Each structure stands twice: as structure tokens, then as C-alpha cells.
A and B are shown apart, each in its own frame.
Chain A
Amino acid sequence: MAYGMGAGGLVGVAFETVSGTYTAPTKFVPILSESLELKEQNIYRTPIRQSAARIGVVPGDFSVEGSITMEALEDCCLYFTECSRATGVKTGTTPNFIYTYNPNSNAVPNKTLSITVVRNGVIFGYTGCVVGKQTFTVNNNILEYTADIFGLTDASPSPSLTPVWPTSVPYGPGSWQIQIPNPTNVFDLDTFSFEIDDAGAEQFRLKNARGAQFASFGERTCQMTCSRDFLDATDYTNFKNTLGQKITVIASNGTNNSIQFDLFNAIKDVYQVPLSGVGDLIRAAITYQTTLDGTGNEYDIIYKTQEIITP
């Protein structure tokens, strides 16, 4: 044994053939941080028995919860979005593919992930993982992606692990095309956060083994927050009139490598434009909520990549 630090860690993922059965990683994902943990729901006994102390514990159910934050790389985010509440369609021809994800209304995802985390040489294998919430945000001038994970258990596997890492690059300054409304390009945003929350949760059932039975989804909320230069009253008037607009954000590193997401009918929910200081630019802090547009579309996420998966 030896002391360890985060630099030596790694995260790998694989689609499970059978949900909940550990699968060794097929894709290694460079991450910024992760907080996956096995959460136990032990039952501590406090019967009235001449003592105020807990007299014992009954092992409870357990499940996996936590989040993974990474540089948004199109070939890596793809794996997590595939295990969210969305249906993927693959188009394009070798070597360049386009994966388009549209939300669905299913209770469970189409696929689950086995997520392998190595911490100080110890292998943790979380199974049955689904992505209950996804967030794209600009941090330190690059696009970052956070997946909130819900899963079943830690299989404590011992696979042979020698990772091969992707060489795709993050999206930074000069990568952006922001259209509010689509297709009008705007140049007044300096940051945003786009969040899709499908209210993932573990489901426990009475059975002959401890642990969650499956992970499911609930009611979806989809929102984007951003700060825009306040140039005139046009956008503010749209806010007062609860006018929906289509928003498109494209982060591109070339014709065949990009991440795009669309909010088809974004309603401004919050519009704050304060006089915050003598030397401060006047900017509007805006929160958009999405609803369905006239054709039934809410949002989509489009990955252009050379990565090969089968949605």
C-alpha cells in the first residue's frame, strides 16, 4: 500500500449488455473531478430497552450517487448522454458520424453504464449507472460537462486496466457560435450553463439481496442561464411578453468535431439588469426555461465525432 493522489486516478466507462452487470471499461474518460460513492441506508436500532443508545444496525439498501465533471469532449460526453433519458440517432458515414439525441418520456434509459473509478490503485466498479442530470457550462473559458449519476452498486471488480486515452480537444475561445434566436448570431454572451434535469432516482424493492433494483427518471426540467450585455430593450420586452425563442449553441473544433445543443422554445423566466457599480458594464442575468415548440421538440444535443457507438 502507498499514499495516493488524484493525479494517478482514472475513470473508464462501458455500456452494459445486461443492466447492473459489471462491464470492464471500453472508453477511458479524462475528468476534472468525480464524487461517485456507494450510499448505504442502514437502519439503526433504537428500541426502548433500558438504554438511550443505538443497540445495533440492520444493513440497509445501498445505491450509487455522485457526479462526474469533465472537459466537454464530444467523444466522451456521447457515452453519458446515451445513458440519459434521450434517444440517439446515428447518421453520417465512416469516419465522421453525427449522433443526435432527442429527449423521450421513458421511465428508464435505453442503456446503463458501468463506471470504473481507480483511486490509489483500488478499483471501484459502479454498475447500473444512469445519467439523471446533464450540465454544459463554460468554466475557465472552456466548455465543461457534468453528469449526475445514479446507479445500483459497486461490484468491486478486478479487471486488467491499461487505459487508452482520447486525444480530442476541449472547446475554448474561438469555438463558439451562439444564436438567440436561431439563426441570428449574437456576440454578447460570456458564459452560460445549460442544464437538463430528468430527476433521476434509485428505486428499491423488497428482494433477496440488498441494493437498488433499478434507477428511474421523473419530471424533466430544462433550463439555461447566461449573462448578456444589455444593449436595448428588445430582449426585455420579449421577457415581459413571455415570448419563446429557439436558442442554438454550437461549440466547434472543425467540420466534423462539435457539440451542439438547441432549446426549441426557450422562455425567459428571470431577467435581472441591475446598476451594480460605477465602473460595471450593464449586463442582464437571464434564466431560460424550455417548453415544447409547435412541433413537439424540447431540446436536442448533437455530437459530431469519429467515435463509433451504436445508439
Chain B
Amino acid sequence: MPIEVTVDHPEAGDQDIFINGLGTFRNGQTATVDDDQIMRFRAMNSVQKTTHNEDGTYTVENELGPEPQDLEIRGVTIKVVEAKGEKADETPAGKAPADQEKATAKPATATTPDTPAPTSTPEGSDK
């Protein structure tokens, strides 16, 4: 299910932050990330496990990374978007659904990693 990513980073100020695999987010705002991007995030954060055999060969297994909402990310809150008839879930900061504050920022679609990063503009960014 899609997730909502809310960034409230204490040091970032009025800046964008980038979470590898999820996208670029404005500090102080909330954005939605779809299922495809979530799967890309898990793939990009997958863990490779290598087992060496006695004959010198080795085998490699790949384990997908965790769901974003299962991570503790400083300054970032992630919750699963509530579908009809289902209850929402959230990052391990662990508020019960009834206690969750409504996101006040207008949701925006997150930038995918394939999108040219906004950091590359020659003029930079006046903030």
C-alpha cells in the first residue's frame, strides 16, 4: 500500500532532503510514495549474503530490504496510507491510529530516483 512520508528534520531547515530509494522531500512537508517506489526502495536496500563453501566457491543470496514504515529515520515519519476498511500503520514511533495527527502539509508526489535531481541546476536555488 502507498505510504505518506512526513519530514520534520530539526537541523535541515528550509531544505530538501533525499532518502535513497524513496525520493526527495521538502522539510516540513508530507508526500505520498506509491507501491512501485516502495518496491524499488526495498530492492535498493537489499542485503546480500554470501556463503563460502569449503571448495572455494560461494553462493550469494539476496534479501529484500525492510518496508519503509518499519524503519526508524531521524526526522521522518512514515505511515501506510489508509485504504477503505483498513487501519493505517506507522513507523515504530508507534502512535495508535486514533492518536495520529492529521498531516497539515499538502501531499505532493515524491520525486523518484529516475527524475533528474533538483540539485543539478546551474543557478542553484535561492531559498
Chain A residues near B (Cβ < 8 Å):
1-3, 24, 26-27, 75, 94-97, 121, 160, 162-169, 174-175, 252-257, 305-309
A168 to B120 CA separation, bound complex (whole angstroms): 9
Ordered by A's residue number, 18 sampled pairs between the chains whose C-beta atoms are within 8 Å are: A2-B47, A2-B60, A26-B10, A95-B13, A95-B14, A121-B47, A162-B72, A164-B17, A165-B20, A166-B17, A166-B18, A167-B17, A169-B125, A253-B124, A254-B126, A305-B13, A308-B10, A308-B13
Check A168 against B119 for contact (C-beta < 8 Å): yes
Report B13-53 residues with CB < 8 Å from chain A CB.
Answer: 13-20, 24, 47-50
| A253 CB contacts on chain B under 8 angstroms | 123-125
| A27 CB contacts on chain B under 8 angstroms | 11
- Contact mask B52-89 → A, CB, 8 Å, 1/0? 00000000100000000001111110000000000000
| B18 CB contacts on chain A under 8 angstroms | 164-167
A3 to B50 CA separation, bound complex (whole angstroms): 8
- Contact mask B85-123 → A, CB, 8 Å, 1/0? 000000000000000000000000000000001111111
Check A308 against B11 for contact (C-beta < 8 Å): yes
| A96 CB contacts on chain B under 8 angstroms | 14, 127
Q: Write the chain B residue with the least CB distance to A169.
A: B119
Check B19 against A164 for contact (C-beta < 8 Å): yes
| A167 CB contacts on chain B under 8 angstroms | 15-18, 24, 117-119
| A166 CB contacts on chain B under 8 angstroms | 12, 15, 17-18
Given contacts A165-B17, A175-B124, A257-B127, 4 further A-B contacts (CB under 8 A): A3-B50, A166-B17, A306-B14, A307-B12
Given contacts A3-B50, A257-B125, contact A163 B11 (CB under 8 A): no
| A254 CB contacts on chain B under 8 angstroms | 123-127
A242 to B12 CA separation, bound complex (whole angstroms): 45
Q: Write the chain A residue with the least CB distance to B16.
A: A167
A119 to B124 CA separation, bound complex (whole angstroms): 31
A95 to B126 CA separation, bound complex (whole angstroms): 11
| A252 CB contacts on chain B under 8 angstroms | 124
Which 5 A-B pairs have CB atoms at the shortest separation, nearest pair first?
A: A253-B124, A95-B14, A306-B13, A2-B48, A254-B126
